[in-house]
Structures are given as C-alpha cells and as structure tokens.
C-alpha cells in the first residue's frame, strides 16, 4: 500500500487511538477501519516511527496485546509538574456534571455519561479517575461489554457523606414529578455545589467537551 493510500487510514487510526482509554487490538482496529490485521499492524508500526521521527510528545506502543498512545517518556517531568500544580485549580462545570451523573446513575458506561451530557466525556472521566473520585466498577453485560464507572470512598470522604444513600434526592429538583430521576439528564441546577468540593481535589481537564 502506498504512502498516499495509507494517509486516510493513518489519520483514522490515530483518531481511534486518541479517544480510546485502553489498548486497541489489531482485530478491533481492523474491523473499525475495514482493513486486515497485518495492514493495521504495519500502519501502527509506521505511525509509531513517524511520531518518534518528528519529535512528538506522544508515542505509540504495543502493550497488553493492543496499541495505545502514551505521553513520551522525555515529557514525564513537565507533565508531572503540570498535573500536580493543576490539582489546586477549581473543578470545572464539565467535571461537576460528569461526577454528578456517575454518582446518581452508577454503575454507568462512558457512552451513557456522554449521552446524558450531550458531548464526549472520555477526557473528563479519565481525569476524575486519575483524581481518585471515580473508578472502574466492572463491565456492562451489553454488546462489547463496556467498562462501568462508579464513585470511590474518596468521593464520599471529600463530600463529607457517610454513604451514597446520603446523596440529596433529585426528585424535588425535577420539573416533572413523574420522571424517573435515574434516567433524567442531570442539569446545572442538580450539581453538587462548587463550594462543597474542596479546592485541593479540583483540577481542570484539558480538552473537556
């Protein structure tokens, strides 16, 4: 396959790797791109070499039976300083929305969170997971068995709650008393108050939708 013919596939491949929060196998990528596995592996090898040649801050590695993008090892110091310093910033509206949805609808998949918010929430979920406020809670039994997310004991600790049962009821906040609060999109008026979240646990999420 020529370089020109590979370009659209390489662009699509890079996009898939970017939005995934786990290694993608050659089989999964091949099915998504309509290619055979050998071609996918060849494109991945070439993309990995290209990222290194151009001095990218990202690197593509084959891990755990699949391919995944990582920050380049040489950027570790600056990335670490940025993450640690940004933990003092206030939590964004996107983070509060996402955390509220997980808290009230858990266990919940990434797709369900994104559907309720109306925007891709992968980056926000990763940031909340890194902060220790949410965690993986098994896999859904539906097609593809997507990851499920739930809140952590740290979430309860930081909000001063003894258990999830102590979360405020959403019923009084709903316009329609007949709606099921579990399936109702959580709006701004239903979020935990920003002042209830301690500043040391808040950080902005790059690329949040």
Domains defined for the chain, CATH in brackets: 3-74 (1.10.10.10), 87-201 (1.10.10.10)
pTM of the model: 0.43
pLDDT confidence of residue 205: 42
> Regarding predicted confidence, which is higher, 39 or 182?
39
Task: State what percent of residues in the chain have pLDDT above 90.
Answer: 39
Q: Is residue 199 predicted with pLDDT exceeding 70?
A: no
The span from the CA of 99 to the CA of 97, in Å, is 6
User: Nearest-CA neighbor of 194 among 85, 96, 89, 101?
Assistant: 96
SS3 28: helix
Whether residue 126 is predicted with pLDDT greater than 80 in this model: the reply is yes
Which pLDDT belongs to residue 125? 93
145: helix, coil or strand? coil
* pLDDT of amino acid 157: 80
Q: Is the pLDDT of residue 40 over 70?
A: yes
Rounded Cα–Cα distance for residues 140 and 105 (Å): 13
CA 197, chain centre distance (Å): 21
Q: Select from 195, 200, 207 the least CA-distant residue to 86.
A: 200
């Amino acid at each position: 396959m020529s370089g020109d013919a590979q370009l659209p596939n390489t662009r699509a491949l890079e996009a898939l790797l970017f939005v995934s929060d786990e290694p993608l196998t050659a089989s999964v990528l091949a099915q998504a791109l309509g290619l055979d596995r050998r071609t996918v592996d060849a494109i991945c090898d070439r993309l990995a070499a290209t990222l290194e040649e151009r001095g990218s801050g990202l690197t593509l590695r084959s891990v755990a039976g699949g391919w995944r993008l990582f920050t380049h090892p040489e950027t570790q110091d600056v990335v670490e300083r940025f993450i640690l310093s940004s933990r003092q910033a206030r939590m964004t509206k996107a983070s509060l929305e996402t955390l509220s949805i997980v808290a009230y609808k858990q266990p919940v998949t990434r797709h369900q969170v994104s559907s309720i918010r109306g925007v891709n929430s992968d980056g926000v979920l990763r940031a909340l997971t890194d902060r220790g406020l949410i965690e993986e809670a098994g896999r859904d039994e539906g097609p593809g068995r997507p990851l499920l997310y739930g809140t952590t004991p740290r979430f309860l600790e930081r909000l001063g709650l003894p258990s999830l049962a102590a979360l405020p009821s959403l019923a009084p906040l709903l316009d329609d008393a007949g709606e099921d609060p579990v399936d109702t999109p959580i709006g701004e008026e239903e979020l935990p108050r920003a002042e209830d979240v301690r500043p040391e646990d808040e950080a902005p999420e790059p690329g949040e939708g």
